[in-house]
Structure 1
């Protein structure tokens, strides 16, 4: 049985917009569409056949908000009823002061859940939380699923291998805090650069172990 979108080793391959992902009957996942019995990609990305479903994981793109997303943002300005917040979206989001009652300054890092996306693509946030200290980095939003990993596996590797606290937003923002933030950033850069490759978790795990050995050896040098 031939599955278009995978090579002879059953590995994911890159597809372009309009390219066939599979000719088999499958449930439609993200970034695919059905035409005359074939499933096509609507973007540049990695074809993925997972059981009875077909989808494409984009290799590039902007954050497209959905209700329920966890995002990490930065307060831009204070309004009478709340705060304008940059969440790496088309428009700034709004956080009510009922969510963040304390007097906060622009530049404060927060996390929140997307409560609503209106017809103008404007966001309303809820369940907000303030972060003090730490660092904020940005990656392509379409690479975030790889940073998190299946069932949080990659994120667990990053936390365990660096000892850092991390919060990953679906909008491409990542908050980090700890004594080894530099190593965490290097690992995230590997994930972003190699997101289209297989066995990524194993490579990141090996990288962090090797860096850990180097750091341990340096103590006794």
Structure 2
């Protein structure tokens, strides 16, 4: 498998261009059957509308792509079947929470989610709520996901000026460092307290990552590549 590649940019130019997805149309019956199985395994997942992308272009300090609407069942099948449509990618934002002692904070997804057991930064596949004036607002998506998963708002962190766009197979993770003026242990305790107040939190555990030795197999390749690139760096 090709190693992840990181492009550092300052501008995300994400447009929304409605278009059909032939994969989802041609394999509809198989997709629905696959999703029915997944729902029996994980009853809380639902077939909402999400955004996937095509035509990624990195030019200078700009990353551009065009998003289209799809249903979650089709996305899940596409993912689970090895990404059969190579012209499509999953482009999502991530908030890399970095504490004043250098620790990065990640969450472990709960058993009721479609990514159970995976460990990574707050993130989510963009959806229709992220569309504004025919553009996809990835920075806004990151703000929302960070608050939903951890309880932190923009008042709690300082966002970096750059995005590290990590290209890993059919995924492009647009990662922005969010600097928090707490130690790793302090931030972990704060997030855990927030999770304890939720009826069914997305996260079941909070992990601190200070370097490559803290990486595990539960962390996606794009997260590992990001950590390895940023150990010892300043924002």
TM-score computed with the length of structure 1 as normaliser? 0.26
Structure with the higher helix share, 1 or 2: 2
